[in-house]
Amino acid sequence: MSVVFLLLFVGTMATVAGTLFGLANPIITTFLIGLVLFIAYQIYIQIFFSSEKFKNIKESIKEYTTNCNELNDHIEWLKCTHADIRSFDYGEGHLYDNSNFNFQRKEWSKNIKNHLVHNCSASVCKNASDQPFKYLCKYFDIKASEETLSSFEIVLNNFAAAEQGKVLLQNERDSILLDVSKSIPTLIFFFSKNKLIQKLGFEPIDLSDLYFPVFTFQYVSAGGNSSSKCDIKLNITNLDSFIKYLSEIVKFRKSVVGQRALMTSSLREKIKSRDNYTCQYCNLSTRDEQNLLLEIDHIIPLSKGGITSEDNLQTLCWKCNRTKGARIVLAS
């Protein structure tokens, strides 16, 4: 009924506009018709989104949207895990540019407070791009110890889960949308999809990879005219290689629990396949839920002396893993 009302309204307005301005100025007429169509469409979608029918659709999928939003929050949490890798406090210092001749050295002061940027000579900058991990450890005080290695393994484990979670969450949301698509007017489904997603109660999914830490070597010449930069982005591929690099330097402590393994992407897959893509707590598997996010968990946490070994790793769904984490915090 609202579509009929819309067409009648648009038709009338367009005719009135055409009669008034059409002969005199075709540009104004086109603009006015466009404007009227736009306003009419906005009114139409407002009417639809506040209708009883839409409220019922929203209510019918509430359980799924809540689930998606919880997963979304969890993914955002996974992305933040690298924040505590570096806990050095170097103290406060102030740099003043006292040079004569009014040199413009804006570049100098730009990133001075950022602990992920190292200002260095041109040759260090160049060498850092040739041997990124070596320079990363040296200039950003990343000690090649078993403790550091474990921290980076946790980061990789969480980042890998976040990356996979983003894809699964989007698939899940798309399949929910497809289910309700029959009850949504085609016009709205295709032209106002983002608004529809928002009105149904889905929180926006951040698909960017901005959360990967980027370590920067930066050279700026004394006059500020010449400069170069080397960025080392710790994305999944680089983290995988960095962990292998650290492990070659670190000598593992002797452990009676079992052979120390490296929590790389391939080990994650191996454990999931061993556990039949099934959560070891609730028995939910990817066969039951296609878009289920599975994570790799240390049975005895690293913080309680557990190590990364196949015996000490298990597959858990993200919900059970999160609950386990909460239980451990409460117990300690």
Residues in touch with Zn ion (CB under 5 A): 279, 281-282, 317, 320
Nearer to Zn ion, 107 or 275 (CB): 275
Closest separation in Å from C-beta 265 to Zn ion? 22
Of the pair 131, 290, the CB lying nearest Zn ion is at: 290
- Give me the least distance between CB of 79 and Zn ion, in Å please: 21
The type of residue at 76 is: E
- Is the Cβ of residue 211 or residue 318 nearer to Zn ion in the bound state? 318
Task: State the nearest-atom distance from the C-beta of 198 to Zn ion, in Å.
Answer: 30
**What does DSSP assign to residue 266?**
H
The minimum distance between CB 191 and Zn ion, in angstroms, equals: 39
Cβ closest to Zn ion, residue 216 vs residue 278 = 278
C-alpha separations of 81 from 139, 284, 302 in Å:
22, 26, 15
Neighbours of 297 (CB within 10 A): 20
- Residue 229 Cβ vs Zn ion, minimum distance, rounded to whole Å: 44
List Cα–Cα distances, 129 to 122, 123, 245, in angstroms.
11, 10, 16
By three-state DSSP, how is residue 104 classified? coil
- Helix or strand holding residue 220 (H, E): strand 214-220
Tell whether the torsion through CA atoms of 98, 99, 100 and 101 is positive or negative.
negative
**How buried is 180 (Cβ within 10 angstroms: 0-12 exposed, 13-18 middle, 19+ buried)?**
middle
Least distance in angstroms from the C-beta of 268 to Zn ion: 17
Using the minimum distance from each CB to Zn ion, give the nearer residue, 162 or 317: 317
In contact, 58 and 199? CB cutoff 8 Å: yes
Residue 60 or 66: the one with the smaller Cβ distance to Zn ion is 66
Alpha helix (H) residue ranges in 250-295: 265-274
The β-bridge partners of 219 are 228
